[in-house]
Each structure stands twice: as structure tokens, then as C-alpha cells.
Chains A and B, each alone.
Chain A
Amino acid sequence: MDEKLEEIEKQYNEVPIPKELDFVVENALEQGKKKRKNRAPLWLLGSAAAAMLFTASLNVSPAMAQTLSEIPVVGSIVKVLTWTEYEVKEDTYDADIKVPSIENLENKDLANTLNEKYRSEGKALYDDFISEVDYVKEIGGGHAGIDSGYEIKTVTDQILSIGRYTANTVGSSSTTMHYDTIDKQNEILITLPMLFKDDSYIKTISENIIEQMREQAASDPDKTYWVKGGGHPDEEVIDEFTTIKANQQFYISDKGKLVISFDKYEVAQGYMGIVEFEIPTGVLKNDLVSSKYIH
């Protein structure tokens, strides 16, 4: 190589490496691994898991969740209570994990299945956090934080959508929210596939979402998605969003609209956070089994 180039390369390489790099990299790898695991379609009963977020902080939600404890229903009271709470408060390590529990469902199998899931996932979050703290201590200290809890997204006579969020409060890493939607009258868990006659809903919904992404990107320069025409030059879209998963995360709004959610990084840059799309019912009407839930 040319002498001058060598000199320039030397200068390029002389930029000091901050000592935080190790931690940032390890943390990102750890979060990445967890997210990959979560992506496996392991949801119990193929359950309705959905994620949503408003770009703002999640600190609002725990308070909101706490105030909501009783939901009156015809004939019975379905309650969502905090079953247990894990708390860690040390100088630079901070965890607050609230585990919800659904009470007073006649259908005990359903209640047990959901509650078991909530409890084991809450425990796993706590265990992961503890091992993360151990790791951080090992490499000489640092920050670690997690905030997890739940909120009631929708309550109507028919529908209960409960969302559980997990926010890693260190760095800009993960924020996810998993949804379960229950038909309170029939006491069954609603999954996305069961709302539709056949698989064609996947295509219908995906196409509508891509359309919405393009519209949003066109009207608001702050919004970008990983689709062609989604605010990035075409040639930079390498992991293009093409389709939702058969059991994509979703919930049903109090107006009876289907809302599809994506985890952070799933369809957009990290700064977009968790994004959701309300699908116009008109688009879905040929695919829907009935207009009982979605209308």
C-alpha cells in the first residue's frame, strides 16, 4: 500500500476506542439473542401475543395498570390483579417486574393456562436480569435495568385485551408488549387465525399495512419503514417487510377494530419503537368468519 495511504490508515485506526464498547456490544448481543428466542412461535395455544408502543416512555403504564383492577362483566367480575412483583433496587441495577393474574374466569383451564404463562415468563425475566447483573458486575460494573408490567388495552362487554410490556431501561434496547385477547362471554382465547376463514388474511393484512406504511412515510418525514417507498431509498431497504406472521401480534380495539403490532426493529428502525396498524374493517370483510369481534 502507498505510504500516504498507510499514514492515513494509521490515523483512521488511532481513534480512541471507548471502554463502554465492550459493554454495549455484549449487551446488544444478549438482547439480540433474547429477541431471537422470543420470535419463535412458542405462544401457548398459539395465543394472541401482540406488542404495541407509543414512542414515549413506558413509565406511564404501571400507574395506569394499577388503577385498573376490576372489570365488570355481565354476570361476573373478571379481575386482573398483580399476582407478584419482583423488585431489585441497587445503585445501578434496577428491576421492577409485575406479574398479572386473571381472576374470576369461569373457564379455569383458560385462566390457569394464561396465569401459568404470566408467572413463568415473569420468573424468567427476573432470572435473566439477575444473571445479567452478575455479568455486568463481572466485567467491572455498569448499569442494568428492566421494567415489566401489564396494562389493560381494551375492555368491552365482549373483549378483554391485556398487554404485558417489557422495557429494558438501559441503552435504547428492547421494548416489547405481548397481548392476550379473551372473549369474556364465551371465555375463550382469541387467536388471529381463528378470526378468519382461511390463510388469505395474511396477504390481505400485509398488503394493507404496506400501503399504510407508504402513506405515513409520504406524509410524515419522521416516519420510516422497511418497505420500498417507506422513507428509505429503495436500494437501502435490505430487510424488506413483505408479510405478517400467521400469528402476528394483535389486539382488538374497543371500537372492534383489528390492530396489528410489530416489535421494535421488526419493520422499522429502532427509533420508531414498537409500531401498530389499525386495519380498516372494510378491507377484511371478505376474510372474516363473522363480524362478532371485528366490525
Chain B
Amino acid sequence: MDKLKISEQRIIQTITTIITNGYIVGFMKGKIFTGNSKFICVPGLNCYSCPGAVGSCPIGSLQAVLGGRKHNFSFYVLGFIMLFGVLLGRFVCGFLCPFGFLQDLLHKIKLPKIKVPKRIDKPLRYLKYAILLIPVILLPIFLTNQYGMAQPYFCQWICPAGTLEGGIPLLIKNEPLRETIGFLFNWKMGILVLIIAVSIFIYRPFCKYICPLGAFYSLFNKFSFYQMNVDKLKCNGCKTCEKQCKMNVKITKDINSVECIRCGECKKACPKGAITSGVYLEGTVGVTKTNEHTFHQ
């Protein structure tokens, strides 16, 4: 049963990655998809310059609108992010994000794992909110050129997904693009290599500390329709779930914490079957007693 549950997450991650990057011809020709579906934002961090991408990255789109001449606020992109957030919260991170999937796979490599000390881990968790606020929102609005336009600062200087999904496959197939490689590409490759290497030893470092999209979705974790729940009547307080949680969530106190990516590892670890998850249409959940809520699993 455990193995089946693990494979469920991997299956969903694989399917989502394939669906959102389904333009296989793009990889073969070194060109990106130019169809109309690209006006729709996908839930995960998925670069629209990936040759296979059939939708748009919400973070890239947000910067494109904010950094354009016409608008200083993007109802459209925020609407998409709110929609995914209120429906699923950080379930998107756990199941629907291709870059989260990559980090999961890297962490499977059998090498010693590192647990970041609390005094470093805790303040670093706030970094993703600063990244959301400064390079994703404020700089594209205020740091503009003489035409009132701004660069997508996060994509340009930080995002490793763009380098991996867009940069590498496009540069492999395009000689003219390869000739333009300079400091910026080397900088971004450095970030990508660093995150790949760290992901082997630390669970999802990009999601924990850097990802502005995860930061956004985390704000919805307590309000989303998809919720985690601990049944206090069944829970014996053994904290096996907390020992198992790689995101270091205090499950018995705050299971729908901003850091929970709804991976379901706690649910599998619980010897009492006290942890459930699903779509709750009525009431709120978290740490409750049985039969208090309408629950559709």
C-alpha cells in the first residue's frame, strides 16, 4: 500500500510534467510552442520558453504584465494563482510542479542527507517571501527603463527552471543562440548546478527557501479546499508523522502550515491512520475530532 501511494505521487508528477510540456516537436526542432493555449497559466513553475511548454509560467507571466507599459497590477495572473491556491494550496508544489518533481528525484539519490539546523532553516524560509515581493513584484513595477518597461528580474537572475527547461534544450539545438552565451548564462548555470547539487542532500531546497510561487501558494494553505486533517481522537501523539515530514511541519499542532506541500508522507507514516487529506467543501479542518466535517476524499 505504501509503495502504491508513493507511485501515485510520482505518476501524477510525471503526467503533469508531460502534459504541461507536451510539445515534443519543440525539443526536436529547438523551437518553442506558439499556440493560443499559452495565454493560460499552468499551476507549477514551468518556463514558457521550454520548447515543450504548452502553457505559461505564472511567475514569468506576472513579471511580464507588471513590467509592461500598460499595467502595474495583474488581475489576470493573480486570478490564476489565487484559483490554484484556493483549490489546492501547496498541493501544487507536492504534485503538480515539474521543478519540485526534479528535486524529489534528486533527493532519491542514495547519498547522506543533511538536516538544516533550525537556527538557519527558520529564517531562510522567509527568503522566498522576500523574493516574491522584491524581484517578482516590486522591481518590475518600479525599476523600469525609459519606455516604462522592466526586465523579468526573477527569471533573469534567479530562476533555475528557466535555465534547465528553456536554456539548455534551446541552446543545444540553436547555434546562433549558443554564440550569445555570456556572463548571465554562466551565472544562471551556476545557480542551477548549485540547486541540483544541494537537492541531493537537502529535501527540496528551492521550494523551502527560494520559490516565489510556493510562497504565494503557502498563503492559501489554510484556506484552500484541499486540506490535511489530524483526527485527535485517533492520534496517540507518537509524532512519527513529524519525524517523517521532510518539510519540518509541526503536524500535530498545525498540519496545514504554510510549509506543508501536501506530499502525504505523514499520512503514510501514521500508525493510527489519524491523518487524512482531501477536498473539504464545508467547515475547516486541521486538528479536529472525527465526523466534524464534510469530507470528499
Q: Do A and B bind each other?
A: no
Show the binding face of A for B, using Cβ within 8 Å. none
